[in-house]
């Protein structure tokens, strides 16, 4: 899988994290555990992107 074919998955994961954090903030429910959960999602998406993408 090259970078351009993996880019939509990466952007979807980042969008999920940003929108989820924003929703929690608007609802006044942005606790540390929520931030950690969305950070884990972003980290896993980034690791999958790096591991399964050919860069050359």
pLDDT in tens, 16-43: 999 999 999 999 999 999 999 999 998 9
Is the predicted pLDDT of residue 13 greater than 90, yes or no? no
CA 9, CA 49: separation in Å to the nearest integer?
Answer: 8
Q: What's the confidence (pLDDT) of residue 30?
A: 93
The predicted model scores a pTM of: 0.79
For the CA atoms of 40, 45, 47, 53, the dihedral, rounded to the nearest 10 degrees, stands at: 180
Structure tokens at 32: 């540390």
How many CA atoms, within 13 angstroms, populate the side-chain half-sphere of residue 36? 3
| Domain residue ranges in the chain | 3-52
- Residues 21 and 38: beta-carbon distance below 8 Å: yes
């Amino acid at each position: 899988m090259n970078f351009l074919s993996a880019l939509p998955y990466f952007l979807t994961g980042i969008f999920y994290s940003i929108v989820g954090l924003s929703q929690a903030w608007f609802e006044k429910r942005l606790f540390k555990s929520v931030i950690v959960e969305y950070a884990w999602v972003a980290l896993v998406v980034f690791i999958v992107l790096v591991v399964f993408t050919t860069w050359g």
